[in-house]
């Protein structure tokens, strides 16, 4: 019985021999891909915002943008400096940063605990996942009347509102990361007779980190969005309160200062998360590398 010889289709390139394919792989520089998005651009995440800034500057300089609708960039800079010099901007900025940090911290901790309980136990999932999914479908704005009744208008209400907005993305993506761990790693851990602590440290934690960092990026954005809302509801300090007060008197320049501050703080916090993610997950090769 003779082996059947297969011929390449007409127009198709001839198949590589084993040694030729091996030499081709060896000759290609490590880390260089023929397919994919290409090498990362240094500070590439700033290109889009800088383009928007350029359009804003050009439109304002040409008189295409009515300053009563959108204040010119140089006027915004002057207003921000005047607010800082007068001592109005600094305290509001510190108050907003404190609310953001506390809400983000409590939300991340709560989301992590719930994700671990639900992701590593079927009983935990049965108890935890349903209520979290219900909260996921209810926006924070809908909860504000209840939160105001329960906690009043003090700082607790604002921090809890921010934490509730952070909890959901942390839980969803960390839980998904836990459940996406290859089952063969668990089988290998059982074969090696790892205890629960070693299993969590060597298998569960590294496997869940990509999902956790993805959730962190969503959580940071959600934290700033929630902060904008709570600082315009019965607040007496913060960037949002400054913007609300400026809107009452028609001070467009101060409103734009607040929006620019929110945008810059959001961009900086997201950049910090991305840098930490790359450092922590340096062992994981992706198309982004």
81: confidence class by pLDDT, cuts 50, 70, 90: very high
Per-residue pLDDT of 234-246, as tens digits, reads: 778 899 999 999 9
| Any domain includes 178 | yes
- CATH code of residue 245: 1.10.3720.10
Average pLDDT over residues 75-91: 92
What's the pTM? 0.77
Angle between helices 47-61 and 73-85 (to 10 degrees): 100
190: confidence class by pLDDT, cuts 50, 70, 90: confident
| Any domain includes 58 | no
| Any domain includes 82 | yes
Q: Which residue has the tokens 């082996």?
A: 3
Q: Is the pLDDT of residue 135 over 70?
A: yes
Q: Is the pLDDT of residue 20 over 50?
A: no
pLDDT for position 2: 47
| Any domain includes 211 | yes
Residue 279 vs residue 10, higher pLDDT = 279
| Any domain includes 196 | yes
CB 165 within 8 A of CB 223: yes
| Any domain includes 113 | yes
Rg of the chain (C-alpha set): 26
CB 260 within 8 A of CB 76: yes
The encoded tokens of residue 62 equal: 């040409």
The encoded tokens of residue 261 equal: 């501050």
Q: Is the pLDDT of residue 13 over 60?
A: no
pLDDT for position 180: 81
What residues make up the domain containing 200?
70-280
Average pLDDT over residues 62-84: 89
| Any domain includes 80 | yes
Q: Is the pLDDT of residue 182 over 50?
A: yes
Q: Is the pLDDT of residue 23 over 50?
A: no
pLDDT for position 31: 53
| Any domain includes 52 | no
Please count the structural domains in the chain: 1
171: confidence class by pLDDT, cuts 50, 70, 90: very high
């Amino acid at each position: 019985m003779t082996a059947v010889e297969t011929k390449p289709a007409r127009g198709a390139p001839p198949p590589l021999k084993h040694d030729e394919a091996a030499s081709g792989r060896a000759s290609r520089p490590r880390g260089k891909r023929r397919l994919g998005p290409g090498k990362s651009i240094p500070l590439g995440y700033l290109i889009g915002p800088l383009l928007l800034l350029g359009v804003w500057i050009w439109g304002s300089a040409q008189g295409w943008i009515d300053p009563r609708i959108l204040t010119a960039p140089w006027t915004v800079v002057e207003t921000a400096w005047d607010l800082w010099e007068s001592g109005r901007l600094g305290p509001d900025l510190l108050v907003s940063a404190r609310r953001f940090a506390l809400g983000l911290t409590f939300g991340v901790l709560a989301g992590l605990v719930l994700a671990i309980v639900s992701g590593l136990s079927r009983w935990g999932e049965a108890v935890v996942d349903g209520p979290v999914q219900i909260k996921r479908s209810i926006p924070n704005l809908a909860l504000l009347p209840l939160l105001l009744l329960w906690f009043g208008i003090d700082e607790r209400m604002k921090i809890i509102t921010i934490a509730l907005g952070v909890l959901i993305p942390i839980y969803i993506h960390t839980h998904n990361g836990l459940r996406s761990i290859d089952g063969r790693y668990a089988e290998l851990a059982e074969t090696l007779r790892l205890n629960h602590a070693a299993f969590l440290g060597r298998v569960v934690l590294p496997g869940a980190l990509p999902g956790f960092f993805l959730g962190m990026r969503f959580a940071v954005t959600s934290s700033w969005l929630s902060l904008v809302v709570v600082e315009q509801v019965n607040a007496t300090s913060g960037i949002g309160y400054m913007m609300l007060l400026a809107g009452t008197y028609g001070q467009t320049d101060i409103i734009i200062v607040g929006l620019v501050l929110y945008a810059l703080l959001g961009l900086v916090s997201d950049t910090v998360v991305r840098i930490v993610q790359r450092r922590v997950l340096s062992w994981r090769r992706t198309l982004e590398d």
